[in-house]
Structure 1
């Protein structure tokens, strides 16, 4: 049977060399066609804003325990093996690749040639193979698309096979269960089977860049958002879920470079992606107007629900999952920057939601403290959010993205330290978006209005000449005044009715930091260890 190929492809891509013998291949189709194909196949519905709404099926999030890295002569001595980076043997990968390619030979497939990395010196040429048009739409929205001229010279470096309908047999195939993601650095290939959740594609390439960039190019990969002011001053925002990373980086007065994944090369902050993958639970025009406006034609909405008898999305409905998502091109954000590049950062913000009410709402960090808090990656879960949690519980995720780090976290912290040493004018701030006046249940959440005022003051240089006092336990520097923020807010101890209780809680939180850091002590330098909080007065 003759091979039927639709769309535009690079003359340097030969599917037969990939082992793909499918009889119908859709190459780099535009977003309108992919949307229409999805509707024709009955795989999605349009919302009243024109967004394409789909279900990812059984998996509505990543499955980190089913992500593997092939352990071979290239990776054996480089990867930080353990619960995060789970090894798998090369022959298992080869066996699964052969089985997946055989299944693809019976399918209509969609192929996307694209880039990961807005800086051309460090970007990867990626070919993604999907078995649904809407997954290919996701790739069109999230990756950087070649121009017509670039397509004519495009040569593949990395290959991703995403085949949700391929289910592994753990007893035969060597996986933990039916679904899996396997990264093979030697063969520059990622296999995704058994899961239609598109975040596996996005984070698979993020993990690849997290290995290649520091290992070969001395570039720091970062799980952060980035924006730029009118004087080309770049700000970075790190933070775990619920700390306000996306919300605080969305500023109508600053251009958005990217919302999630970036690299810091000498003289350059660059986005890894060409789009955004925003959480949209409880999304509203009032709370997040930029994201709300981006949910329009060709945006992909995952696992959302409609109001009854309508095609209007009910963002408050999390009955399918809390992890509802909107995938859209970055240019859908009105003040986004294209290309998604900026200079060295001027300000770096570590966001934490401290439910203990101990950390100041803003504090300035020394280089050593920046490295220590970067490795710690602290936030807290609050009572009532999960069954069994009756008081605040600490959460630590190294470098604010531990599950995506193939190398040891100390490697990334040392790279950050090197950047800060080379660029001493960079300010690093710790921002507490959590509680003040007491812990969760007693105190109150720090006002978003005040948080924005403090961030703006830091960016505008209004905190450059103010007085700072070290925190008695954590040693971080507290500004004693800030425009548009009551001075009482800046010293959390003074907001507590019982200051002795504050002191006791501060020592408890400090001990939790120290306990968490024990796993890194054998690799950490003395300068990093010197930034640890006190555990006794």
Structure 2
């Protein structure tokens, strides 16, 4: 398909929608607040944020996401358990039923952009039945100017109807919920779930398909910031590793906290806002994110609320561990307004290692960087997920497997070419456990992680001495200001050294088994990293 093709027509009739009732077109935040409260979709909290609940789905419905398998997508998509095929005719039938469902209903439309770089941005039209989903879209994507709105033509349309539920026997879905991307029709349909993250991540998946194929741009599930000397840093990491927290640094300007592209000029944000996990958020440790939870325009998802005083309780997980705050980047005082910056000088790969095996920081060779980029390792913690009785290793391709529709080699080759061309220094940072696994050891102090990352980014860490880790092959610094030297070598702080050795060998085996899927597409020296 041609990336520059557009859906012509300015009205909803261009999408087959002809009999809607009131249409709130690119409504501003204040208007959407009024509608959210009026419609009973949410409550105004003390100091001005809006609190909403997502109902049954408090996170992504991974098993309910599909890509239409047709003549355009068939040869490009990496089909499998993550990228599940959907029949084109069933998509059309489901789409038509959704159009019929919208007859006579009030709708909310946001015309906006995904991508801060004008050469690559994707004009997106998001049509929703919920006012708070429209506000979420306004927060998370890049707002069009009044002049741009006059001539706006969407390249992709997303229809979001949480109250519309699929019939699996009729529609071919797995459940009542569905998230389906159709690259031929340039359309995304979402139903049966109110979790707003599906909107954000389906657009991200779309960019992860289009940009490498048509523009040779590397899409990345990472945060980005820039230092006083103009030095850019990227932060890769899965949920719970500290990507948003550690990239939101008072001494560095934030580009974005989650999704970026890397082209021939440098880095650009895909988004206009942040979607931070805020369970047990600490004012002292994360003051800037904490302040966003008290600001007008912020959406608080599934956060406990005293309905009388309207005060929120960030420590309460009564609805879910996955409480979220959606807020515009303008809520953070130190940001790069353009959403663009130069090529990175450093890459930080974050892992929350619940086994307590990985060092708090380790320097990576080029081969190790590609190995860990493709592996995307972190771990799920016992007690926070149903059925998890002990730490469980998790591997997610490129730190974003659920959103990567193309073969891993596509992203891996672009990553390797860019870190080599721009001589990027890469580090692996463990924000998980030390002194033993979850339940025995303790979580690494976030202040230590900040000190290590700051020393890595200002170059002082690289100027010191290093020791080679005998298990994972990482270069471990012997010292860092503000960090107890004994924790830098994980084995040294385990009381039972034999237990450390046994557990390390088990994790290495898991790494090797997982990496077999990439072995045919990378040089042998990368396969032999671990």
Shorter chain as normaliser: what TM range? over 0.9
Aligned pairs (5 A) from 1:406-425: 406-424=405-423
Looking at structure 2, the residues matched to 136 and 439 of structure 1 have their Cα atoms a distance apart, in angstroms, of 42
- Tell me the equivalent position of 2:3: none
- Tell me the equivalent position of 1:461: 459
- Tell me the equivalent position of 2:4: none
- Tell me the equivalent position of 2:436: 438
Looking at structure 2, the residues matched to 382 and 54 of structure 1 have their Cα atoms a distance apart, in angstroms, of 27
Give me the CA root mean square deviation.
1.8
Q: Which segments of 5 or more consecutive residues in structure 2 lack a partner in the other structure?
A: 1-6
Deviations 1:62-83 (A, max 9, x none): 1111111000111111101011
Aligned pairs (5 A) from 1:43-82: 43-82=41-80
Among residues 267, 286, 291, which one is paired with 1:293 in the alignment? Answer: 291
Report if aligned partners of 1:269, 1:342 keep a CA contact under 8 Å in 2. yes
- Tell me the equivalent position of 1:192: 190
Looking at structure 1, the residues matched to 372 and 165 of structure 2 have their Cα atoms a distance apart, in angstroms, of 40
Q: Does 1:260 align with 2:258?
A: yes
Looking at structure 1, the residues matched to 246 and 54 of structure 2 have their Cα atoms a distance apart, in angstroms, of 29
Aligned pairs (5 A) from 1:218-257: 218-257=216-255
| Distance verdict in 2 for CA 1:497–1:56, change over 3 Å | closer
- Tell me the equivalent position of 1:368: 367
- Tell me the equivalent position of 1:103: 101
Report the TM-score when normalising by structure 2: 0.95
Report the TM-score when normalising by structure 1: 0.93
Q: CA deviation at 1:300?
A: 1.5
Q: CA deviation at 1:226?
A: 1.0
> Residue 112 of structure 2: SS of its match in structure 1?
strand
Looking at structure 1, the residues matched to 89 and 307 of structure 2 have their Cα atoms a distance apart, in angstroms, of 50
- Tell me the equivalent position of 2:30: 32
Report if aligned partners of 1:368, 1:530 keep a CA contact under 8 Å in 2. no
- Tell me the equivalent position of 2:136: 138
> Residue 297 of structure 1: SS of its match in structure 2?
coil
Report if aligned partners of 1:12, 1:153 keep a CA contact under 8 Å in 2. no
- Tell me the equivalent position of 1:158: 156
Report if aligned partners of 1:11, 1:153 keep a CA contact under 8 Å in 2. no
| Distance verdict in 2 for CA 1:437–1:133, change over 3 Å | closer
Q: CA deviation at 1:417?
A: 0.5
> Residue 378 of structure 2: SS of its match in structure 1?
strand
Q: Which segments of 5 or more consecutive residues in structure 1 lack a partner in the other structure?
A: 1-9
Report if aligned partners of 2:362, 2:428 keep a CA contact under 8 Å in 1. yes
- Between 315-324 and 325-334, report the one with greater CA deviation: 315-324
Report if aligned partners of 2:181, 2:187 keep a CA contact under 8 Å in 1. yes
Looking at structure 1, the residues matched to 64 and 277 of structure 2 have their Cα atoms a distance apart, in angstroms, of 23
> Residue 522 of structure 1: SS of its match in structure 2?
helix
Report if aligned partners of 2:275, 2:326 keep a CA contact under 8 Å in 1. yes
Report if aligned partners of 2:285, 2:446 keep a CA contact under 8 Å in 1. no
Q: CA deviation at 1:483?
A: 2.4
Deviations 1:1-38 (A, max 9, x none): xxxxxxxxx99513222211114211111110111112
Q: Does 1:18 align with 2:15?
A: yes
Looking at structure 1, the residues matched to 173 and 389 of structure 2 have their Cα atoms a distance apart, in angstroms, of 36
Q: CA deviation at 1:117?
A: 0.4
> Residue 98 of structure 1: SS of its match in structure 2?
helix
